Structure 1
Amino acid sequence: MSAAWIAGGVRARALLRRRAGAVSAREIAGCSSAAEAVALLVAGPYQRDVRPGQSLAQAEHGVAATLLWHLRVLAGWQPRAGAELVRLLAGWFEVANVVEHVRALAGATAGQMFRLGTLATAWPRLAATSSLAELQRALAASPWGDPGGADPQRIVAAVQLGWAARVAGGVPQAREWAAGGAVLLVAREQFLLGRPVPGSALLGDVGQLAFTDFAARLPGEAAWALADVTDPAGLWQAEENWWRRVETDARTLLRGRGFGPDTVVGCAALLAVDARRVRAALESAARGGRQLEAFDAIT
């Protein structure tokens, strides 16, 4: 293992201290209001982008923005190959920006954008587009690929599935996470929202299938995401199981000896798990902190 991987791994493990942790997240979830939760959160590791007086939406965005900043720091510590792993995993933030850009181009109110810095894939070019058709052409000319149409929902689904495919192809440690995530996305869109989705490089064309047929045809690396799920009503639990699998696998990656790609991927995943847990805690607090059982069920 090279000195660059060792140095990057040591710093990655140090970065894991920038998490709130399950105990603190539950304390935040038990607050009686979002304002109280935000006041508690600003004293912790998310203080970079979470500030007193923010609304629930602003604080949730701040938590995600802080995660992105930590990933940017993580990438900066790695050799080139490690930085590329982080950039692929951080593609979620570029997807989130595309979603908001699509809303704006479709005439809706867009939310806040993330500052991607060197973790961007094609965002500066995508952000410069002024119509959905122009956005489609820009995507087609980028690593994201052609969404196959300028319909807002199609563009969003295509980049989401495209991110899963790029992670699966470039981050071996996360291939099954990506495949399982693609399954949940397609299942939610088709069977809960009734919206068709484009074909996926990971799953192929799964349109016009009943839920049981869809689950039965999934490749082995993706089928685990719907284990024990017999109908679409169970998809919420499947999503929670997905996050638990990611957390468990990430801890396993970090228990390995030495330093290298496993350390980088494990660190990035655990930072994401923590941010997701804190965002769920903020949602719980916004409801008065009286639903800790529900918070416990999803974390």
Structure 2
Amino acid sequence: MAVTPYGRYARAATTLPEAQRAVTATLLWHLRVLAGWLPRGGARLLRPLAAGFEIANVASRLPAGGDARTDPEASAWQPYRLGALETAWRSLERAATPGELRAALAASSWGDPGAETPWALITSMRMAAARRTAAIVPSARRWAQGRAALLTARERFVHRRPLPAPVRRNAQALLGPRAVDATSFADFRAHLPSTARWALEDIDEPGELWRAEAHWWRVLHQDGSMTLRDARYGARTIVAAVAVLSVDAWRVRAALESAARGGRPLEEWDALV
């Protein structure tokens, strides 16, 4: 990795978590550089697409529990430096307890998560990020709806947890009330709008959602690459560049994980970025 664009952060990495963190830190740096090249106000377009870094910063401040933290060593990291891609991190950073985090989120554009458990805080932020992406980045709306479908399916039919009210409202705005309120996975799939149903293509049961996750990333890469090949400058091209960079980082992180397992295929592909 030292001779790749990830080398700037990866050279000092000696463990798998450090190497994976170096990959995502590089992605964030590239997005910040890209935002700096855009005309005045252009960072607003990229901010929703970089929301995962702010979510990761919040997750690192929460006590372990549920699936709020994807990285068991997250609390050891320094927060990602977001620069112009920050949504409300300077306010969230000052929160010392989950209750204070909830209050800070409620006072920001993230909105009230509805509870102060680690799971509620992070799930709310993830769904809010999907809705904000759909609203602010039209060319990424389809991806955001697919992401919302995956998140809703995982919470409802894998973890068997009811969605907090704010999460449910955002999910309904993206997927429609009939899908979000469905009582079975089959009904959930059937009632999804076509702009979100693609994410669950050929997925017949919740236990196969890991395949849907990988499919979501493949579509992200295909859509982004196709747009970049058009070679036309504009917002769609910028968003496509972010998509392709993000997919590359996800794939490199997955490859590192596979290498750490001796090169054996990963049986489950979870959201790594």
Letter of the 2:50 counterpart: A
Inter-partner Cα distance in structure 1 for 2:256 and 2:246: 15
1:229 corresponds to: 203
Consecutive unaligned residues of structure 1, counting only runs of 5 or more, are: 1-40
The amino acid of 2:154's aligned partner reads R
The CA distance in 2 between the partners of 1:88 and 1:53, in whole Å, is 29
2:157 is paired with a residue whose SS is helix
- CA distance 1:219–1:116, change in 2 (3 Å): same
Bigger Rg, structure 1 or 2: 1
Q: TM-score, normalised by structure 2?
A: 0.86
Would the alpha carbon gap of residues 84 and 209 (structure 1) be closer, same or farther in structure 2, given more than 3 Å must change?
A: same
What is the CA distance between 1:86 and its match in structure 2?
1.4
- Residue 203 of structure 1 aligns to which amino acid in structure 2? L
The unaligned stretches of length 5 or more in structure 2 are: 269-273
Q: Partner of 2:271 in structure 1?
A: none
Structure 1 residue 154 and structure 2 residue 120: aligned? Answer: yes
Question: Is this contact kept in 1: 2:146–2:198, CA < 8 A?
Answer: yes
Residue 99 of structure 2 corresponds to residue 127 of structure 1: no
Show the counterpart of 1:256: 230
Q: Give, in angstroms, the shift of residue 83 of structure 1.
A: 2.2
State the TM-score, normalized to the length of structure 1. Answer: 0.79
Q: Does 1:47 align with 2:11?
A: no
The one of 10, 16, 21 aligned to 1:56: 16
1:191 maps to 157
1:130–1:294 distance in 2 versus 1, CA, 3 Å: closer
Instruction: Read off the aligned partner of 2:175 and give its amino acid letter.
Output: L
Asked whether 1:267 is paired with 2:220, we answer: no
After superposition, the Cα gap between the structure-2 partners of 1:204 and 1:125, relative to the gap in structure 1 and judged at 3 Å, is: farther
2:136 corresponding residue in structure 1? 170
Please provide the CA RMSD for this pair: 2.4
Work out the CA distance in 2 between the residues paired with 1:194 and 1:51. Answer: 42
Q: Which consecutive segments of 4 or more residues in structure 1 shift more than 4 A?
A: 292-295
What amino acid maps onto 2:244 in structure 1?
Answer: L
Number of residue pairs aligned between Structure 1 and Structure 2: 255
Structure-1 separation of matches of 2:229 and 2:13: 39
| Cα distance in structure 2, aligned partners of 1:49 and 1:152 | 29
CA contact (8 A) 1:211 1:232 kept: yes
Q: Report the counterpart of residue 40 of structure 2 in structure 1.
A: 80
- Percent of residue pairs bearing the same amino acid type: 49
